[in-house]
Amino acid sequence: MKNVTPDHIVWLVGDGLPPARPMPPYSDVVCRFLGELSRDLLQNRANREFPDVAAFAFFCRRGNTEKLKEGFRDGRRRLGRGLAFHITPSNIPINFAFSLVFGLLAGNSNVVRVPTKDWPQVGIVCRAVRELLTKPEYGELAPLISMVRYERSDEITAYFSGRCDARVIWGGDEAVSSVRKIPIPPRAVELTFADRYSCCAISADAVLRAGEDELRRLADAFYNDTFLVDQNACSSPSLIVWLGAQAQEARGRFWPAVERSASRYRLEPAHATEKYTLLCDCLASGEDIRRVTMSGNLIYRAELSGVGGVEAYRGRLGVFFEYDAASIDELAGCVTNKWQTLSYYGLDAEELAAFVTGGRLSGIDRIVPVGAALDIGVIWDGYDIVSVLSRIVSF
């Protein structure tokens, strides 16, 4: 690479560009490797303070990859595309690890650019992967996995992009657009996971019927969807839609329970300022905000009179926007292809799916219960990732 010294790239796993050596999707050696990685991560007590590492390890367990393999079989012969280059976001610590796994399951060699921020989760996963790759039984995988860290550099990105057979980009719209200006080979495919908007629909009646234990579980699940990642994940809801005539009473039960669950959340001073500024900006520019409720500095809630321009209201760090609706159909006019996840409580998932498909909506790719918003999988943003990152050998 011209004008780039080795010091510009930190090789966390591997020490060079992997060869393009495709394997069949869900190959046995990959599934065994991921299963052992899962056990190593779960058995290390030091990892227990990181729920996202535990969730990643749970996804990698052998039983899950075998289940995914069974669901993927369609009688066709497939191979990975070759070398996959992954560019992952800096604000979600464990995203890089999932992207690597998707590339491996599809049968590819992989170069993964990890976050430039020194998240502990990055070190935990990279150390576990390095140690496993030293075992003789994974010798064929060792040259096929590289994880790198480098500050923004179009030259380095162009180097990896120019040699890949697939490029996977995670990030905001501006970051995705910037990387897409850098060409990839004519036969290479590209998957982009850009900025999305997510919503949570809650039945007011269901909240009022819930016992104290159920209410606590709901609050904990909502906390995991939101505060656990500072609402940085595209699947974390910004908008809370209350369905039912008793929405006000339901809020009176729900939010105090969430506040109790979120008492463990540590809001850094700089984030507190950012949070208050976000709310002030929304108040200054938004015409639909009719009331704001603040629970200390932990939860800010802005009630909306309409949802016509709701995508402008993005929650972070415990800022939520609420809307009372007589029916989920009220959202149909504002759902664009920016919408990703609809999480729900007390509602029928099939009816919600019919709302999306029957209404022929351009957005909402995922419908999941509250608590599962962050559960990433091989189907994401409407893509079957393993299918896209592999090729069919017809005969």
Q: What domains does the chain contain, in order, with CATH numbers? A: 6-195 (3.40.605.10), 197-369 (3.40.309.10)
Sign of the dihedral defined by the CA atoms of residues 191, 353, 333, 231, in that order: negative
pLDDT string in tens for the chain (395-residue length):
444 445 589 999 998 899 988 999 999 999 999 999 999 999 988 888 888 999 999 999 999 999 999 999 888 899 999 999 999 998 889 999 999 999 999 999 999 999 998 899 999 999 999 999 999 999 999 999 999 999 989 999 999 999 999 999 998 889 999 999 999 999 999 999 999 999 999 999 999 999 999 999 999 999 999 998 888 889 999 999 999 999 999 999 999 999 999 888 887 888 888 888 887 887 777 778 888 888 778 888 888 888 888 888 888 898 999 999 999 999 998 999 999 999 999 999 999 999 999 999 999 999 999 999 999 999 999 999 999 999 999 98
What are residue 380's DSSP bridge partners? 383
CA distances from 178 to 112, 169, 193 (A): 18, 10, 13
| Token digits of residue 70 | 């069974």
Count other C-beta atoms under 10 Å from residue 192's C-beta: 18
Kindly report, residue by residue over 274-293, the tens digit of the pLDDT: 888 887 887 777 778 888 88
Pairwise CA distance, residues 315 & 301, whole Å: 10
Q: Supply the pTM of this predicted model.
A: 0.90
Kindly report, residue by residue over 206-263, the tens digit of the pLDDT: 999 999 999 999 999 999 999 988 888 899 999 999 999 999 999 999 999 999 998 8
CA atoms within 13 A on the CB side of 383: 16
pLDDT, position 7: 58
Could you tell me which residues come within 8 angstroms of residue 70 by beta carbon, excluding any fewer than 6 positions away? Answer: none
**DSSP assignment of 15-29:** SSPPP-----TT-HH
CB 140 within 8 A of CB 29: yes
pLDDT, position 125: 96
Report phi then psi at 384, rounded to 5: -90, 95
pLDDT, position 140: 93
